[in-house]
Each structure stands twice: as structure tokens, then as C-alpha cells.
Amino acid sequence: TPSRSEAGVELLASYYSHLPLIESRFFSPTRQTGIFFTWYDSFTGVPVCQQNLLLEKASILFNMAALYSQIGTRSDRQTRVGLEQAIDAFQKAAGVLNLLKETFTHIPSYDMSPAMVSMLIRLMLAQAQQCLFEKMALPGVSNQFYSLIRMAQEAAKVSEVFDQVHQFMIQTPIKDNVPLFWSTMSLVKTNHYRSMAHYFVAAALLDHELGPRDDEDQQEKMLSQVYDQLPEGRTPIDILKNKDERKRFGK
């Protein structure tokens, strides 16, 4: 059994790399070998059996992605090194799942269906984005306009990707097969990080005024990137220069 570590992933990768040779030597398209490969759906537990190696290859990739996700989950996210390891692991999990999706499109197991794998890819990338935010916040957030706006932007990105995950999870038939806890947590994270984005923007507007030494154009550009749209007749520079407007938008 592969360990939940890089060594475990390497073991699976080594086995996967040998499968084409095994297939060419022992599996003929003109005759049956009598060897069955079995995979149990990771969500439903329903078994799938096939006599060709496509199922075995796909299952190895799925397990490699699962190991990478576990490595990411088990990383110490209280340290910079641990967060970097988690980001790397979640991104690799997404990459392996993407290879699975593009290479094996007709595996008769729902957990490897294009819809489910697409959702899992987004989930892995969302967790990587969350770890990136945590990495930025780890040293502490400086109470400066630019720092606060950057944190708001990163929090908004995390909220956006988890919202995409949640939208995938509530679609039929995915919602009938993934744990309710998953979709609930994706919604919680969507709202949590959206709230953090609002908080950081509010802090930037309420705690800092545009001074004569500030880069007016840069602040205007950064603020415009935070809002998808502003009320008609309002511009970012109007908000930055007007104390009452800053207070109104900040609250």
C-alpha cells in the first residue's frame, strides 16, 4: 500500500509507467486474458470490473491525485514551508486529475466522470488558492493602504474559486454523490473570504486618507480592481478624495 507521502506517489508513478510495457506484452486486443481489474467508486462504493488496462491506468492516476491532496491537507500550514508544500501538492493533484480527465474519458465509474473530475480539479485549485492567501497573511497584514487592498484582492479570489466549486457541487448528479459537508464547507468558505475581502477594503478606506505624497494613480488603479462596478456617477478617484465617500463605502 503506498504511503501518504511523496514516496507513495513515486511508487504509484513507477507502477503507472510500467503499465504500457505490460499491456504490450501480455494484453492482446484479439483475445481475452481472463484478468480483471476492479475499482470501487470512491463516493458510491460501486465496483467496476474490466479486462483491459484502461481502468487500471485511470485508477492509478486517481489515487496519485488523492495522495497529493492528502499531502496538501497534512502539511503544516502554520509555517511558510508547510504552506508552500501544500500549494505544490494541491496544484499537482489538480494536474494529475486534469491528465486523467483528458486521457481517460469513458471510464464507467462516476468518480472518474468528466463532471466529477472537473469539480475535483476546481476543488484542488481552490485549496491551493486558499493556502496562497494564508501564506500572504502568515507574517501579519500591514495596516497600509496597498497591503490591505492586496489582501482584499486575494481574499476575493479565494471566495470566487470556492463559489465555483460550490456551484459545481450543487448540480445534479454531483450533489447526489458528494458528501453534504463538502458543499456546505465550500459555501462557508465562499462567504468567509468574501467577508474578509470587504473587511480589508473597509479598513483601507476608513483608516487611510489620500495624502499629497500618495501615488494617486496607483491607488485609483488598485481600488478599481476591487470593485466589479460602482454606483452610477462614482469613480474610484472620487471615493479616494472624498472623506464622506470613503466612510460611506467603507461602512
Rounded-to-integer distance, Cα 86 and Cα 74, Å: 8
Give the residue from 66, 99, 131 where a domain finishes: 131
Residues 22-34: tens digit of each pLDDT: 777 766 666 666 6
Q: Please check the confidence at residue 99 and state whether its pLDDT lies above 70.
A: yes
pLDDT tens-digit profile of 163-188? Answer: 999 999 999 889 998 999 999 999 99
**Phi-psi sector, 129: left (phi>0), alpha (psi -120 to 50), beta:** alpha
Domain final residue, candidates 131, 157, 176 = 131
Beta bridge pairs of residue 40: 47
Residue 136 lies in a domain: no
User: Are 197 and 80 found together in one domain?
Assistant: no
Domain-located, residue 125:
yes
Mean pLDDT, rounded, of the chain: 86
Place of cell 478606506: 205
Query: Nearest 5°: phi and psi at 152?
Result: -65, -40
Residue with cell 497529493: 68
How far is 94 from 203, CA to CA, in rounded Å?
35
| Same domain as 7, residue 64 | yes
30 and 105: one domain? yes
Domain region containing 154? 141-251
- 193 & 73 share domain: no
pLDDT in tens, 187-220: 999 999 999 998 998 888 776 665 555 655 666 6
